[in-house]
Structure 1
Amino acid sequence: MLYGLLAVVLMAMDHRGQYVSRARDLAQYAVEPVYLAIEWPVSALRNLFGQFQSQRSLRHENERLKHQLLGQQGRLQRMQTLVEENQRLRALFAGAESQPYDYLFAELLQVELDPFAHQVLIDRGSSDGVEVGQAVIDGLGVMGQVEDVHLHYSGVRLISDPSHALPVQINRTGLRTVAFGLGETHRLSLPNVPREADVREGDLVVTSGLGGRFPGGYPVAEITAIDREEGLTFARVEARPLAALDQGREVLLIRVPPQPALDEVSGEPGEESGEES
């Protein structure tokens, strides 16, 4: 009963003087700071959580883009590798086309380059017709010769091996000498060049064809240093191999046709020709 009477009185006062509305506004003004004080931490936590979610989403997106970029870079690197391999193969076969021999393509399986032995293994063997002594070249020059032959692979001794000796000649003058390996892929020694011989830095050294191993005319090295010391019979001559002895993966084996017999070269008739006449 008391509450009902109080409600009627308040309604009458609000109708005439809007006292209740004013009291409500005053109450809102008084309560608003309290509401804001309570709402601010909640709003701050909500914003912080939203930023955390956004950062986590950005991190995930960043990781995804990184992986995608790495994949693209990997594909580009593979394409670049294929381009470079194609260029090497073009150079390899371009050099072979200028020579009147047959060739066998091979790839390197293993490389051994230490001061005492410069050898490589190739993926061709006796089943492919490989023979001991065959010359091996790349697209730039002579690499070495076959030393060991197995069924499906062979060992090749490089021209830089300390025990390797290769009959060569100076292409400009025709001077014949021998190139020895020094156990370094960038240096050969030509110790038998006379001190007064016409040899210059930059001269091209090619195979001489002597010795029955390497056909003549294949590029071997370029003269890089000449020391004509007084009192010595021979000059100290060094050359840089042209073949990429410590690089590349593809090589060619030269197939030299059988040499004619001496009687065929001289034209002397054999027993069969004598009987026919």
Structure 2
Amino acid sequence: QGLNIPQDAKLVAISTEKQADGAQQWTLTYRLEPQSSSGIAPQGAPAPMAPHPACGSSGTTAAPGLPPPPPPLNSAQILSKRESKNVIGSASLDSPGVAPFPVLPYQPGSPNRLFPLRCAVMTYAWGKIGADSLVGQLAASGDADFAIDENMPYSELWMGTHASGPSMVMLEEPYRIITPLYDWLKLNPFMRKSTKSNLTNEQQAKGSSAGLPFLFKVLSVRTALSIQAHPDKTLAEQLHAEKPSYYKDSNHKPEMALAVTPFEALCSFQKINSVLENLRACPELVAVVGEA
């Protein structure tokens, strides 16, 4: 059954969210300006939003209510645009216009824009408190809806598709759109892999998940972190299959850390002989763990 939406109503917002049962729910908001008795919109009514050019857009027909897609750029136009901008390597410093939602038309060699993310904020007890936390500062600077609680520890900022804290793609124009990064990458697979991939078809199919295989974090540490065990890839896949509620993904957990402020960390363990010597030097510990 069709929706009773007037033809002159304008689509002003699209949002999507995942329900508790796993279903994906889409919300579309239309706006219809009031008409005067003469049939003319009252003074001060905003003019219809002009369509934004899409990067490398194809000439397909737009969905009802959406701005029509612009004509595609030919190779000469793309080259002339690149030559008129500052370029580092093959990446242009200028961002193209907003592409239609949800799928971005893609042409090899066309420049791609950057998309802002709303990142997940973790509040583990070991994080720095309030505005002293770099995590809190970054979250507030990138999200107008985020307010720092001066009594709350802000420990980690997550950028990725992990189920425990997925990032959201934020677009403000031409429509306000909030989309999980996982869904965005699933709809636009060219954004997560090189167009010059050397992988075979079998390898690509094996790693065809839309999720990112890594989790990029910013940590703001106040006290010692909790001890963690990181499985290798084989064990991670087994644990995820057996207990997905505890092991949220099938990836192993190799880590690389870069200090952005002065930082001290303890790494690795002492050799076994040194551990035994230290234990034997403390009779109370020997009484608890026994003599090896």
Class of the TM-score when normalised by the shorter of the 2 chains: under 0.3
TM-score, length basis structure 1: 0.20
Q: Which has the higher contact order (CA 8 A, sep 6+)?
A: 1
